[in-house]
Structure 1
Amino acid sequence: MIGIVGILLIFVMVFGGYIAAGGKLGIILKSLPFEFMMIGGAAAGAFVISNDMSGIKHTLKDIGKVFKGPKWKPEDYKDLLCLLFELIRLARQNPVGLEEHIEAPENSSIFTKYPKILADKEAISLICDTLRSASMNYDDPHQVEEVLEKRLEANLHHALHSSHAMAAIGDGLPALGIVAAVLGVIKTMASIDQPPEILGKMIGGALVGTFLGVFLAYGIVGPFAGKMKDVIEEDGHFYQLIREVLVANLHNHATNICIEVGRQNTPGHYRPSFSDLEEALKEVKSEAA
């Protein structure tokens, strides 16, 4: 919703200011379809050239994040801490019993309590792979932390591809606007024998290309790329929380301490209060009993 408000604000302020200053939209509206065809078409072509099909689909999908915002909400962070609490406690009480849950999480009585987390393949893979490694005696906290850090960095790098691709297109739009404007000037020069009022309109139409390129770059595409980057990085905290809790577990801290480490490493605007989390953990314990 906030994204739509931002777009409306841009258009109202730019074109409203232009009209309030005495500008006429006629010349812009007349030239806009042709200029947009040249600039938008060239930008789309450059985007296709510089990305493979996977990157194109990834970018188009991530555009929705500008309007939806981060995937993970405060309630999801609390659910994740409860899930990890159950798994760590089971791993310490009954290591053999843990295997059925991490080998087939889709059939697990623990994982199925948290359907949103279960639906995220990377989160489930991160949890199950780390717990499985610990059960195989690969439990050096420092080595595991390094492995998880590299994995998270690689995942974030891949996830940020869409924002980088969008930013690259935004950087090129002003130049494409100049290309469209130059073509408009060439057209105008071919009609140099026309009266000044006609030449004025033709030059104005040519300048629409420069305007459109800069406007799209800094008013639409650039902010889209920045917002996509922010949302992707924000969602990355969810996976970092998994790392923090599981590494604390490998240090053999008490289960409640492992969860508290995770809670305190959760970003402030997502962090559940100590009392809320304690209440949720009590419910988990009572269900298990």
Structure 2
Amino acid sequence: MNLILGAIIVTVSVLGGFMAHGGKLLAIWQPFEVVIICGAALGAFIISNSMKTIMKVFKGIPGLLGGPKYKKTHYLDLLALLYDLFTKARKEGLMGIEPDIEEPQESAIFQKYPSILKDHHVVEFISDYMRLVVSGSMNPFELDNLMDIELETHHHEVGEPAHAVQRVADALPAFGIVAAVLGIVNTMDSLGGPIEEIGGKVAAALVGTFLGILLAYGFVGPMSTALERRAEDEAKFYACLKACILANVQGYSPQVAVEFGRKTMASTLRPSFQELEQHLRGTKE
């Protein structure tokens, strides 16, 4: 929603201000300039990135229309799922949760929380580290270090699309200048012709610079920032997950372990202690 609203505001403000000063929209309708700028930017984007990153970008940008990936309900479901796992392990022993972490799709605990179950990476993270906990082969400090290494790699991977889009935004003003220079070359070739024709070609050349700057700072740059924010939100979600698992390994009760996770949450998403307790009670019933 923010993506659409922001794009509308940018477009209306720029074009509205131009028209208010007597400008004509047809004067800035220069499709060949758009082809030069956008085509060159797309080509440079493809050259400088792996196909995996390219696909992530094209999948990630439409996701901006849906708002934040992780909402308060996702956090509540995550904490409730971990609470159920920790409680079962406390009652039945660590071997009691082995079927749940080996086959999460078949687990009654995971099936209670479809918002978590459909997130393959989160489920895999839970299963992998709870499997290590069940094996008893790692102490909390080793587990903490291993999690940090994995999360650092994961954060780098999910942040790469934002960096790729930002590089395109940085290049767009230069591609606008390329389009403008080509427009001037075209104008010079027409010297001696009608003044109206020369004036139109000069205007078209200037539109190239205008479009490069507008696309960079009005659209592509902000989209890069939005993608980066989504990557940071995902990192915070995993930080919450990490805090809960480590607290459980250190011997805290399930209620206290999920409280560790609750404390890592951003204040805008963090439920109150009573709210979390009510949610945990509701999942039991």
TM (norm. structure 1) is: 0.95
- For 1:95-244, list aligned pairs within 5 A: 95-244=94-243
User: Is residue 39 of structure 2 the alignment partner of residue 41 of structure 1?
Assistant: yes
SS at match of 1:282: helix
Shift of 1:280: 1.9
Specify the alignment match of 2:58 in structure 1. 60
**Aligned 8 A contact 2:37 2:212 in 1:** yes
**Aligned 8 A contact 2:28 2:204 in 1:** yes
Task: Tell me the percent identity.
Answer: 41
Alpha-carbon distance in 2 for matches of 1:71, 1:37: 33
Deviation digits for residues 134-166 of structure 1, max 9, x if unmatched?
A: 111134111111111111111111011111111
Gaps of 5+ in 2: none
Aligned AA (2:108): S
**Aligned 8 A contact 2:77 2:115 in 1:** no
Specify the alignment match of 2:24 in structure 1. 24
Alpha-carbon distance in 1 for matches of 2:225, 2:95: 46
Aligned AA (2:45): F
Shift of 1:44: 0.8
**Aligned 8 A contact 1:139 1:250 in 2:** no
Alpha-carbon distance in 2 for matches of 1:13, 1:96: 62
Aligned AA (2:15): F
**Aligned 8 A contact 1:65 1:231 in 2:** no
Deviation digits for residues 157-177 of structure 1, max 9, x if unmatched?
A: 101111111111111011111
Shift of 1:240: 1.1
SS at match of 2:266: coil
Specify the alignment match of 1:6 in structure 2. 6
Alpha-carbon distance in 1 for matches of 2:278, 2:198: 75
Specify the alignment match of 1:276 in structure 2. 275
Alpha-carbon distance in 2 for matches of 1:68, 1:280: 25
**Aligned 8 A contact 2:173 2:213 in 1:** yes
**Aligned 8 A contact 1:263 1:272 in 2:** yes
Runs of 4+ in 1 over 3 A off after TM superposition: none
Specify the alignment match of 2:85 in structure 1. 87
Aligned AA (1:7): A
Shift of 1:110: 0.4
**Aligned 8 A contact 1:2 1:67 in 2:** yes
Aligned AA (2:33): E
Shift of 1:67: 1.6
SS at match of 1:72: coil
Cα distance, 1:172–1:240 mapped onto 2, change above 3 Å: same
**Residue range with higher mean Cα deviation, 130-139 or 78-87:** 130-139
Deviation digits for residues 257-286 of structure 1, max 9, x if unmatched?
A: 11111111111111111111111222344x
Alpha-carbon distance in 2 for matches of 1:35, 1:257: 60
Shift of 1:194: 1.7
TM (norm. structure 2) is: 0.96
Alpha-carbon distance in 2 for matches of 1:61, 1:51: 15
